[in-house]
Amino acid sequence: MSEVGPFHESGYIAVGVYDDDSALTLMQEADIPDFIRASPYLLSLLVNEELSVGIKVPRNSLKQTTKINNKKDLFELLHTMRYWMLSDETLYKSSNFLQ
């Protein structure tokens, strides 16, 4: 089990404890979706660290949009919101929330 955070031995920024890197994916700053850009967690990373090398994040915390078409989308959005510390407003602003 490897401890990661704020810097993994590879030089990438990652947070948490994972058995291996298969549960993580590398995200470049340019690939971060707009709805995540105001997240308190991301803002703290941008203030404290240089993200030019990328950030490793859990695969289930990478929903690219707030669009919800099924339960899988909903759970992925909820995981993303939790990981990035996004407000509940993110869910309510989803284009098809409660439709």
Whole-angstrom CA distances from 24 to 27, 44, 52, 60, 96 are: 9, 20, 17, 9, 28
Residue 92 is predicted with a pLDDT of 78
Number of domains in the chain: 1
Structural domain contains residue 97:
no
User: Where in the sequence is the domain holding 39, given as residue range(s)?
Assistant: 2-92
pTM score, two decimals? 0.70
Beta strand 55-58 with 24-27 is antiparallel
In a domain, 54, yes or no: yes
pLDDT in tens, 62-95: 899 988 888 898 899 999 999 999 998 887 777 6
pLDDT at 79: 92
pLDDT digits (tens, 9 = 90+) for 9-37: 444 444 444 455 668 888 888 888 999 98
Residue 83 inside a domain? The answer is yes
Q: Is the residue at 99 inside a domain?
A: no
In-domain check, residue 58: yes
The C-alpha atoms of residue 80 and residue 58 are separated, in whole angstroms, by 9
